[in-house]
């Protein structure tokens, strides 16, 4: 049974694979029209709009004032017992009382004002119209239908590329 399936399916798969490879080679060699897929085609230069993004970085600074006092002096020392109320509650976790010590600090009467400059960065991205020439394989019917993109007012199209004898031009609409 398995050998019977192999004898019928394998040749069909081989024919399909050869057909797909032949079509891919024909398309890669420029033998097929890019639009309809027929085989009677010529190479044509066509203007295509391709928007591009332009990014500009803007830098700015902002002044910010701050005060810095002179050296402070230590003041009184304070002491307090913490965690001793935990022993009164039977449901609370057991913790031993602990001594917490801190000191007051007496600031100096004088302070001096300074200014720091903060730097800010802003990135602006804009999409602008751009154009490029592409080479396509087109048959006579598709060549009549294919038109280059219109150049928008205020933008420039790239110059028409130099072509070999087998490359035709589609006129650029203005």
Q: Mind listing the pLDDT tens digit for each residue in 98-146?
A: 899 999 888 888 889 999 999 999 999 999 888 888 887 777 777 767 6
DSSP 6-66: HHHHHHHHHHHHHHHHHHHHHHHTT-S-TTT--S--EEEEEEEE--EEEEEEEEEEEEEEE
Q: What percent of the chain has pLDDT over 90?
A: 22
Phi-psi category of residue 112: left, alpha or beta, with phi > 0 → left and psi -120 to 50 → alpha: beta
Q: Distance between CA atoms of 107 and 60, rounded to whole angstroms?
A: 35
Q: How confident is the model at residue 166 (pLDDT cuts 50, 70, 90)?
A: very low
Q: How confident is the model at residue 165 (pLDDT cuts 50, 70, 90)?
A: very low
Q: How confident is the model at residue 86 (pLDDT cuts 50, 70, 90)?
A: low
Tokens coding 162 = 């130099």
Give the pLDDT confidence score for residue 22 in this predicted structure.
61
Q: How many CB atoms are closer than 10 A to CB 130?
A: 16
Q: Is 169 exposed, middle or buried (0-12, 13-18, 19+ CB in 10 A)?
A: middle
For the sheet with 167-169, list strands across it: 131-138, 42-49, 167-169
Strand pairing report for 42-49 and 167-169 = parallel
pTM: 0.37
Give the pLDDT confidence score for residue 78 in this predicted structure.
92
Tokens coding 143 = 């060549």
More confident residue, 139 or 61: 61
Give the pLDDT confidence score for residue 38 in this predicted structure.
72
Average pLDDT rounded to a whole number, residues 59-65: 93
């Amino acid at each position: 049974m398995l050998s019977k399936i192999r004898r019928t399916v394998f040749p069909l798969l081989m024919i399909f694979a050869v057909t797909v490879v032949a079509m891919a080679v024909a398309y890669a060699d420029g033998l097929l029209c890019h639009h309809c897929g027929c085989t009677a085609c010529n190479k044509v230069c066509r203007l295509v709009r391709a928007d591009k993004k332009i990014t500009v970085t803007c830098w700015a600074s902002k002044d910010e004032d701050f005060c810095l006092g002179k050296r402070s002096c230590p003041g009184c020392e304070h002491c307090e017992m913490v965690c001793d109320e935990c022993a009164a509650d039977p449901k609370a976790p057991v913790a031993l009382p602990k001594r917490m010590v801190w000191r007051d600090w007496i600031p100096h009467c004088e302070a001096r004002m300074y200014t720091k400059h903060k730097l800010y960065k802003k990135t602006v991205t804009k999409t602008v119209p751009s154009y490029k020439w592409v080479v396509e394989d087109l048959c006579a019917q598709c060549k009549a239908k294919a038109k280059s993109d219109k150049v928008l007012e205020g933008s420039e199209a790239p110059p028409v590329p130099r072509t070999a004898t087998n490359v035709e031009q589609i006129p650029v609409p203005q």
